């Protein structure tokens, strides 16, 4: 967290109004293949989601999350009536919690524990997916990358709960 927890701004940044809820999970086994929607997924510490192409990476981007509330904004900004989660190539859609508040923090989904590492900025492929301006439509709405700290299973309907800074 960029501000000490005992500072006024640090306290504000650490306060979340409620838990989030997993709305959708998707896996992509290889580059340039469509996302496959699943009801649950196994996650492995230091790796990522079993069956997803990023599982063999560095772990910094073991999972990608996007806010459900941002799907409507992306659709409006790109000129679409609706944008389906699989089109945006993020692993998990979560509602009810501001994901960027989890950058640098640990959180739990199901039995698994994660740590928010960095914003999940859009890539140039969003131009193909959303049409001209798709990249810019996603700027600021791309979500959060996280590393897996503790193995577990996550499922649609699970709560996303921020953990205290001193939680294991």
Q: Give the tens place of pLDDT for each residue, 20-76.
A: 999 999 999 888 889 999 999 999 999 999 999 766 555 567 899 999 999 999 999
Nearest to 24 by CA among 88, 79, 68: 68
CATH number of the domain that residue 53 is part of: 2.40.33.20
Asked if the structure places residue 48 within a domain, the reply is yes
Asked if the structure places residue 142 within a domain, the reply is yes
Asked if the structure places residue 14 within a domain, the reply is no
Asked if the structure places residue 10 within a domain, the reply is no
Within 8 A by CB and 6+ apart from 110, the residues are: 40, 152, 153, 154, 155, 158
- How many structural domains comprise the chain? 1
Confidence check: pLDDT of 1 > 50: no
pTM as predicted:
0.88
Question: Which H or E run includes 77?
Answer: helix 68-78
Chain segment 104-160, per-residue pLDDT in tens:
999 999 999 999 999 998 888 888 888 999 899 999 999 999 999 999 999 999 999
Domain with 106, as residue range(s), is 19-162
DSSP 8-state symbol, 160: E
Asked if the structure places residue 38 within a domain, the reply is yes
CB 160, CB 106: distance < 8 Å: no
Asked if the structure places residue 6 within a domain, the reply is no
Asked if the structure places residue 8 within a domain, the reply is no
Asked if the structure places residue 153 within a domain, the reply is yes
């Amino acid at each position: 967290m960029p501000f000490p927890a005992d500072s006024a701004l640090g306290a504000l940044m650490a306060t979340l109004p409620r838990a989030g809820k997993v709305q959708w999970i998707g896996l992509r086994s290889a580059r340039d293949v469509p996302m496959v929607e699943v009801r649950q997924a196994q996650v492995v510490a230091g790796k990522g989601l079993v069956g997803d192409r990023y599982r063999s990476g560095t772990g910094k981007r073991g999972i990608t999350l996007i806010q459900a509330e941002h799907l409507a904004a992306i659709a409006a900004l790109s000129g679409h009536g609706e944008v389906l989660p699989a089109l945006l190539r993020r692993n998990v859609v979560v509602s009810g919690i501001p994901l960027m508040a989890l950058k640098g923090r640990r959180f739990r989904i199901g039995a698994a524990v994660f740590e928010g590492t960095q914003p999940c900025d859009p890539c140039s492929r969003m131009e193909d997916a959303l049409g001209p301006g798709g990249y810019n439509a996603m700027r600021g709405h791309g979500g959060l990358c996280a590393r897996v700290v503790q193995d577990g299973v996550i499922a649609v309907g699970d709560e996303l709960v921020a953990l205290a800074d001193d939680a294991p």
